[in-house]
Amino acid sequence: MRQKTGDKHSAILQAAVQVFADQGFAEAKVAWIARVAGVATGSVYNYFESKEDLLHSIFRDMWSRILEALSELAAQEEIPSAERLERMVDAVFDRFSADSNLARVFVNEQSFWMHKWEGDLSDLFQRFMDLLEQTLHDAGLKPGMDPRIQRYLVFGAVRQLIHQWADPKCPFSRDAAHSQILLLLRSLTTAG
């Protein structure tokens, strides 16, 4: 049975996440992605210009979904700021918990590629960081803490814990990583 166009596009993206997680972007071959997706190699090029375009699409989708979830949380002004901050961390952890391969691709490839891509991805990432900064500010950071700097501390801590958790040899669970990042957040704010 022939897949619908959207299904093929989605299957290729899911296969790319799996192959990039298993092989790393540099070692991955488009033919392997096609095989995992169950399509011809030429079909991949009907949807994506290159292997780099595939990775770009994965990150654009990932950041768009995360930002959408976080923007919805940030708009819920009836929830105290410190709780919104924790829920934002929950949303990020939930996104990566749903797909450990995506977590591995994120931690292994994100830093290198963000410096190469201008436009939509860097804009999405900047919007994420600005939203994190504003939420940290609203949550009431302890005196002397600068939300412009603390956002990088929080992002780096979450990224590193996701990196460790996504490694099959990780000595701690996703829940342990999650609870530790929440403790860190509470230690930064006056509400904690």
Confidence of residue 4 (pLDDT cuts 50, 70, 90): very low
Q: Mean pLDDT of all residues in the chain?
A: 88
Number of structural domains in the chain: 2
Res 168 pLDDT > 90:
no
Q: pTM for this one?
A: 0.85
Residue 189 sits at φ, ψ, to 5 deg, of -105, 160
Do 63 and 127 share a structural domain? yes
What pLDDT, on the 0 to 100 scale, is given for residue 164? 83
- Average confidence (pLDDT) over 52-79: 92
Do 56 and 33 share a structural domain? no
Cβ neighbours for 171, distance < 8 A, ≥ 6 positions apart: none
Q: First vs last Cα of the chain: how many Å apart?
A: 56
Give the chain as a 3 state SS string.
Answer: CCCCHHHHHHHHHHHHHHHHHHHCCCCCCHHHHHHHHCCCHHHHHHHCCCHHHHHHHHHHHHHHHHHHHHHHHHCCCCCCHHHHHHHHHHHHHHHHHCCHHHHHHHHHHHHHHHCCCCCHHHHHHHHHHHHHHHHHHHHCECCCCCHHHHHHHHHHHHHHHHHHHHCCCCCCCHHHHHHHHHHHHHHHECCC
Do 71 and 37 share a structural domain? no
Do 169 and 104 share a structural domain? yes
What pLDDT, on the 0 to 100 scale, is given for residue 102? 93
Domain that holds residue 145: 52-188
Query: CATH no. for residue 10?
Result: 1.10.10.60
Confidence of residue 58 (pLDDT cuts 50, 70, 90): very high
Confidence of residue 189 (pLDDT cuts 50, 70, 90): confident
CA angle, 101 as apex, 165 and 91 as ends, to 5°? 65
Query: CATH no. for residue 92?
Result: 1.10.357.10
Do 66 and 33 share a structural domain? no
Do 159 and 74 share a structural domain? yes
What pLDDT, on the 0 to 100 scale, is given for residue 14? 96
Res 10 pLDDT > 60:
yes
Task: Count how many Cα atoms sit within 13 Å of the Cα of residue 178 in the half-sphere of its side chain.
Answer: 16
Q: What tens digit of pLDDT does each residue of 107-163 get? A: 888 877 766 767 788 888 899 999 999 999 998 999 999 999 999 999 888 888 888
Q: What does the CA dihedral 178, 179, 181, 186 come to, rounded to 10 degrees? A: 140
